[in-house]
């Protein structure tokens, strides 16, 4: 069963500083976790995929239970930045899997699962808690409070834009990326991939916006907000019309950027990263965001 891209969100969860890929399924209202990531945490195996493969065979031989049947195949982001099908399990299935893994971390991990679920329930009831959680993550990585405020506002503006695109019938991930590139090109003269090259961001999972300066974030927000406003007024009913709206929204921000550069006497576009890359291990934070 393939996941519906519009009904779920990719995130990274941390258990004792170990990363566990996860997906929140809005339709089912529950988390699905990467089984191989969980196995890696609990067993500290150098090859968690091989451990999981052998474990399934052992459990089937000893107990007659096929663990694969309690998992789902979901596309999750790999280290190379691409999405691959991987075994994923909800909390109930994970608890069954954990029973077959001899590990001193099993009990702490069960408690962690319960906490993750509880936090998600609280965030659904009060979305501001999700923002507070993200703010904490950015603070731990060394960002200033002023920058964080702009970054979070940018996330909200981005979400409004993607919601508007959904209303206009845009559903494919590649189409979101194309429209985003149109805005960026009109705003900065660079597509997101070209912008990452300018900043020296070589890892596919590095989030460009996490390395932008205050002004770069501001003009990014302006282009996306104006695009949203135009779209809401004109309601474009085709992909080509949405592209034209995206260019117009970005053009407004591009004109404002050029005027600002004239006043400041230098370019807004910078090849510097907001954080030193050596101190930024993966260059990104969990975020429910479609194609930056």
Express each pLDDT in 186-237 by its tens digit: 999 999 999 999 998 887 778 899 999 999 999 999 999 999 999 999 999 9
Cα end-to-end distance, the chain, whole Å:
27
Q: Is residue 137 assigned to a domain?
A: yes
SS3 113: helix
Single residue among 108, 125, 142 that ends a domain in this structure: 125
Full-model pTM = 0.57
26 and 146 inside one domain = no
Single residue among 125, 159, 185 that ends a domain in this structure: 125
Single residue among 105, 125, 145 that ends a domain in this structure: 125
Q: Is residue 19 assigned to a domain?
A: yes
Q: Is residue 231 assigned to a domain?
A: yes
176 and 249 inside one domain = yes
134 and 271 inside one domain = yes
Answer yes or no: are the C-beta atoms of 102 and 58 closer than 8 Å. no
Sign, CA dihedral 37-40-46-50, equals: negative
Answer yes or no: are the C-beta atoms of 212 and 283 closer than 8 Å. no
- Binned at pLDDT 50, 70 and 90, residue 164 comes out as very high
Q: Is residue 290 assigned to a domain?
A: no
181 and 98 inside one domain = no
- Binned at pLDDT 50, 70 and 90, residue 279 comes out as very low
118 and 83 inside one domain = yes
Structural domain including 209 reads 130-279
Q: Is residue 47 assigned to a domain?
A: yes
105 and 54 inside one domain = yes
89 and 149 inside one domain = no
Q: Is residue 3 assigned to a domain?
A: no
Q: Is residue 292 assigned to a domain?
A: no
160 and 267 inside one domain = yes
135 and 35 inside one domain = no
139 and 241 inside one domain = yes
14 and 145 inside one domain = no
Quote the pLDDT of residue 45: 80
What percent of the chain is predicted at pLDDT more than 90? 40
Answer yes or no: are the C-beta atoms of 249 and 223 closer than 8 Å. yes
Number of domains in the chain: 2
Q: Is residue 120 assigned to a domain?
A: yes
Tokens representing 50 are 């091989």
100 and 167 inside one domain = no
Q: Which of 2, 43, 41, 44 is nearest to 25 (CA)?
A: 2
């Amino acid at each position: 069963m393939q996941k519906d891209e519009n009904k779920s969100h990719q995130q990274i969860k941390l258990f004792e500083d170990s990363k566990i890929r996860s997906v929140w399924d809005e339709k089912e209202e529950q988390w699905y976790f990467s089984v191989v990531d969980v196995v890696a945490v609990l067993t500290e195996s150098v090859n968690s995929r091989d451990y999981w493969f052998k474990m399934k065979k052992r459990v089937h031989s000893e107990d007659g239970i096929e663990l694969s049947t309690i998992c789902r195949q979901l596309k999750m982001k790999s280290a190379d930045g691409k999405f691959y099908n991987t075994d994923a399990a909800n909390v109930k299935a994970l608890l069954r899997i954990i029973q077959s893994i001899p590990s001193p971390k099993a009990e702490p991990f069960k408690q962690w699962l319960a906490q993750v679920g509880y936090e998600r329930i609280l965030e659904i009831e009060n979305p501001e808690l999700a923002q507070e959680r993200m703010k904490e993550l950015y603070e731990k990585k060394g960002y200033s409070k002023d920058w964080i405020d702009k970054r979070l506002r940018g996330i909200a503006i981005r979400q409004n834009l993607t919601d508007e695109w959904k209303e206009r019938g845009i559903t494919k991930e590649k189409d979101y990326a194309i429209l985003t590139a149109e805005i960026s090109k009109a705003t900065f003269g660079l597509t997101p991939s070209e912008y990452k090259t300018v900043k020296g961001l070589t890892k596919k999972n590095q989030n460009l916006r996490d390395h932008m300066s205050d002004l770069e974030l501001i003009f990014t927000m302006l282009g996306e907000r104006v695009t949203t406003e135009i779209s809401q007024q004109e309601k474009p009913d085709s992909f080509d019309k949405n592209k034209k709206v995206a260019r117009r929204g970005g053009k407004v921000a591009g004109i404002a950027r050029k005027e600002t550069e004239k006043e400041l006497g230098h370019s807004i576009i910078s090849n510097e990263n907001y954080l030193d890359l050596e101190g930024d291990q993966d260059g990104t934070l969990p975020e429910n965001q479609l194609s930056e």
